[in-house]
């Protein structure tokens, strides 16, 4: 999005920007979880030092007198065993400052649909942020009904972004479940910003946020949406219930008219002549005994790729590498992803005619 990256770590990507930029990111990011805005970094080795540092921040400039805030944290050090105690110290520091300034105690609690703070405290390094997203932006707001093991919207978007799909050619999603991959692909193809599908963000509860700027960038994002696409996006599933759910989710995202839904076995899915990407997220047998039943399915996916998807780039997203071997085709790339705590792979196959088979 044109921001200079200052730092990348396991927790996230650090960039420099204004509070207005956080609104832009909340509106447009497809793969983020939350957008944090740094209020202050400092050192602390005791809960009392944390309290003192937080006391000195001008909270009355950030929160309304009658507002409500919530605190979340990640704490890893020997000074404190329960992160809830750190949250309590922050809450006390803010409340005491409010009492001094206004003579009233602010409202606070666990709800994250208003102002939200986030503390990151590792060893003696503390960073206190405003969570400008509030509720996570990893959910894109259209999935009202989940089906079996749905992918998180941000994860689905990330796998598509990691693929070779150019947003201008066929996208085929057999075994679509609740339709997440097909819906995310369509949203990308028509350039619809995910933030347009929700109306509450953490930044809206920060005093003096620039709502004129928010209106402006929302309007620009709406104007940028394409009405149609000159290629096919196909979602299929063997379960009528899955298809019903997919259609409804696509309706909520206002893209149902742009997706062809098919009720069929994955191997019978229409593959448009103009190649593009075929992406499948099969079940991967998290419980004992299930793996055995899936062996055949994975073998059949390999056959389907080889026989029906010539010229396409094929992708399998799975958390079971034993089963992945049963596909029997040579993966060109294996990309690592975490689905919650499950170590998963996005496997990429180049499906030219006569793809090489490997030993099972
Ligand atoms: C893990 S779910 C897909 C979840 C999906 N990515 C989502 O985000 O909702 C796997 C799907 O495969 C479907 N399925 C299982 N066997 C199938 C088959 N032989 N043909 C087509 N679909 C099948 C199931 O009905 C289920 O919806």
Q: What are phi and psi of 158, to 5 degrees?
A: -65, -40
Which pLDDT band, with edges at 50, 70 and 90, does 9 fall under?
confident
Provide the token pair at 17.
Answer: 């920007």
**What mean pLDDT comes out for the span 341-359?**
78
pLDDT digits (tens, 9 = 90+) for 274-318: 999 999 999 998 776 688 889 999 999 999 999 999 999 999 999
Tell me the CA–centroid distance for residue 238 and ligand 1, in Å: 7
Provide the token pair at 31.
Answer: 């793969």
Rounded to the nearest angstrom, the gap between the alpha carbon of residue 300 and the centroid of all alpha carbons in its chain is 30
pLDDT at 288: 61
Question: Does ligand 1 come within 6 angstroms of the Cβ of 150?
Answer: yes
The H or E element spanning position 55 is helix 47-55
Question: Does ligand 1 come within 6 angstroms of the Cβ of 285?
Answer: no
Strand runs labelled E in the chain: 5-8, 13-15, 36-43, 68-76, 107-108, 115-122, 125-131, 171-173, 233-237, 260-263, 277-280, 312-318, 333-339, 342-351
Which pLDDT band, with edges at 50, 70 and 90, does 144 fall under?
confident
CA dist 56 and 51 (Å) reads 9
Instruction: Ligand 1 pocket test: pick from 144, 173, 177, 290 the residue with the most ligand atoms within 8 Å of its Cβ.
Output: 177
Name the least confident of 71-80, 187-196, 272-281: 71-80
pLDDT at 138: 97
What letter would DSSP give residue 106? P
- Beta carbons within 8 Å of 232's beta carbon, 6+ residues apart: 170, 171, 172, 260, 270, 272, 274
Residues 159, 317: contact at Cβ < 8 Å?
Answer: yes
pLDDT at 81: 85
pLDDT over 60 at 35, yes or no = yes
Atom of ligand 1 nearest to the CA of 146: 9
What letter would DSSP give residue 329? B
Provide the token pair at 320.
Answer: 């079971």
The pTM of this model reads 0.94
pLDDT digits (tens, 9 = 90+) for 205-262: 999 999 999 999 999 999 999 999 999 999 999 999 999 999 999 999 999 999 999 9
Which pLDDT band, with edges at 50, 70 and 90, does 43 fall under?
very high
CA dist 117 and 106 (Å) reads 14
What letter would DSSP give residue 357? B
Tell me the CA–centroid distance for residue 176 and ligand 1, in Å: 5
CA dist 50 and 121 (Å) reads 10
Query: What is the helix, strand, coil percentage profile of the chain, to 5?
Result: 35, 25, 40
- Beta carbons within 8 Å of 55's beta carbon, 6+ residues apart: 93, 96, 97
pLDDT over 80 at 353, yes or no = no
Question: Does ligand 1 come within 6 angstroms of the Cβ of 242?
Answer: yes
pLDDT at 359: 41
Average pLDDT score, the chain: 94
Is residue 330 classed as helix, strand or coil in its secondary structure?
coil
Ligand 1: residue whose CA is nearest its atom 3: 177
Question: Does ligand 1 come within 6 angstroms of the Cβ of 182?
Answer: no
Share of the chain above pLDDT 70, in %: 97
CA dist 243 and 178 (Å) reads 7
- Within 13 Å, how many C-alpha atoms sit on residue 267's CB side? 11
Residues 319, 339: contact at Cβ < 8 Å?
Answer: yes
Is residue 196 classed as helix, strand or coil in its secondary structure?
helix
Q: What do you get for the CA distance between the two ends of the chain, in Å? A: 43
């Amino acid at each position: 999005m044109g921001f200079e990256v200052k730092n990348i770590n396991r927790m996230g990507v650090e960039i420099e920007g204004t509070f207005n930029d956080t609104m832009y990111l909340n509106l447009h990011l497809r793969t983020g979880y939350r957008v944090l805005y740094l209020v202050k970094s400092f050192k602390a080795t005791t809960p009392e030092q944390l309290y003192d540092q937080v006391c000195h921040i001008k909270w009355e400039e950030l929160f309304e007198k009658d507002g409500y805030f919530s605190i979340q944290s990640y704490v890893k050090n020997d000074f404190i065993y329960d992160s809830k105690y750190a949250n309590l110290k922050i809450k006390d520091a803010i409340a005491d400052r409010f009492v001094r300034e206004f003579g009233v105690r602010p409202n606070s609690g666990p709800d994250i649909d208003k102002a939200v703070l986030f503390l990151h405290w590792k060893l003696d390094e503390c960073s206190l942020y405003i969570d400008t997203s509030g509720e996570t932006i990893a959910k894109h707001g259209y999935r009202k009904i989940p089906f079996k093991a749905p992918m998180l919207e941000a994860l689905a978007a990330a796998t598509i972004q990691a693929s070779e799909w150019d947003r201008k050619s066929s996208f085929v999603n057999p075994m679509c479940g609740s339709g997440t991959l097909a819906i995310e692909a369509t949203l990308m193809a028509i350039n619809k910003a995910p933030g347009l599908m929700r109306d509450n963000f953490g930044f809206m509860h920060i005093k003096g946020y620039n709502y004129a700027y928010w209106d402006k960038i929302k309007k620009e994002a709406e104007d940028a949406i394409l009405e149609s696409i000159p290629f096919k996006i196909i979602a299929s599933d063997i379960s009528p219930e899955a298809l019903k759910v997919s259609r409804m989710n696509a309706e909520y995202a206002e893209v149902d008219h742009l997706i062809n839904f098919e009720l069929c076995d994955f191997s019978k899915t229409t593959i448009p002549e103009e190649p593009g990407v075929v992406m499948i997220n099969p079940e991967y047998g998290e419980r004992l005994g299930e793996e055995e039943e899936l062996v055949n399915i994975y073998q059949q996916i390999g056959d389907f790729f080889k026989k029906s998807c010539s010229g396409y780039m094929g992708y399998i997203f799975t958390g079971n590498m034993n089963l992945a071997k049963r596909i029997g085709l040579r993966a060109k790339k294996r990309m690592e992803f975490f689905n919650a705590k499950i170590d998963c792979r996005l496997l990429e196959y180049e499906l030219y005619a006569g793809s090489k088979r490997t030993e099972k």
